Amino acid sequence: MRLSWTAFTELLRCTLLGHLRNRLALVLAVAFIPVWIAVARLCTSDVVVRVWLDAVSAPVSARASQVGQVASALGAITMVAGFITFTETFQSRQMDRRLLLAGYPRLPMLLAKLAAVALTASLLAFYTTILLWISLPVRHTGPLALALAGAGLAYGGIGLLLGSLVRGELEGFFLIIMLSLEDTGLQNPVFNTLMDVTGVAALPLYGVNQLALSSALTPHVPWSHGLLSLTWSATTAALALLVLHTHRPSRSPWSLRSRFRPS
């Protein structure tokens, strides 16, 4: 037990230090999120639009700029969380392989990566909530922060999964960008008002988008939709753990015997 806890804390420390050494990730976290929110505020009109929110089962009237800022905040968090987690996972694959061959226990290593995703998502959500609170008349700050954290967890899990699967960094970056843009674009209630878009409930941001918009713009807090984000987060994390478990080497005697068995 003590060995597992030591391995977990050491790998968590190394993973977080890897995030801090990633200057591009720090720039994205500090500068990209407020710039993206500001662009949505400046480039979207203040015309009052009437949008339908499934979370409250009723139409909601709000300024288009306010809806755009919440949607842009979600999109910025998904990209930053996905980039940060993917980059660290991709670049640490060789080191993780060496640690496993040296005898590091597998489960604490995988749990440390998930803990790093959760911490990263929480910090990004806290920072983004402050930015939205300054820019918007937010109704419910706590639920909004939980929705933003759920978006970071979902795409952090996707970044963890892609970092273990793809062969090149460019492929992973492209997949994260395209998935994030399509997800946030289709979840935008203004866009859904103009076009009948079906199937959005199956996308990762559906639950957190409904919770974020309802918490920021209405007096209602649809907690059940927030649980959908936890489901997505758990699913992506489980898939990432499965891939990491099956694609990383093991130091067990059986695996070593099979690896060096003469043909």
SS3 string of 103-114?
Answer: CCCHHHHHHHHH
Longest dimension (CA), the chain: 74
Residue 195 is classified by DSSP as S
Cβ neighbour number for residue 35 with a 10 Å cutoff = 13
Q: What is the pLDDT of residue 257?
A: 42
Confidence of residue 148 (pLDDT cuts 50, 70, 90): very high
d(CA 7, CA 207): 34
Q: What is the pLDDT of residue 16?
A: 85
The answer on pLDDT for 141 being more than 70 is yes
Those residues with Cβ within 8 angstroms of residue 178's Cβ, 6 or more apart along the chain or in another chain = none
Residue 59 is classified by DSSP as E
The whole-chain average pLDDT of the chain stands at: 81
Q: What is the pLDDT of residue 226?
A: 75
Give the DSSP letter string of 94-136. HHHHHHHHTT--HHHHHHHHHHHHHHHHHHHHHHHHHHHHHHS
Q: What is the pLDDT of residue 47?
A: 85
What does the pLDDT look like over 166-201, one tens digit per residue? Answer: 888 888 889 999 998 888 888 877 666 555 566 777
What does the pLDDT look like over 221-245, one tens digit per residue? Answer: 888 777 777 777 778 778 877 776 6
197 alpha carbon, distance to own chain's centre = 23
Confidence of residue 258 (pLDDT cuts 50, 70, 90): very low
Those residues with Cβ within 8 angstroms of residue 224's Cβ, 6 or more apart along the chain or in another chain = none
What does the pLDDT look like over 53-62, one tens digit per residue? Answer: 887 777 888 8
Question: Which residue, among 211, 224, 235, 232, has the nearest Cα to 71 in the 3D structure?
Answer: 211
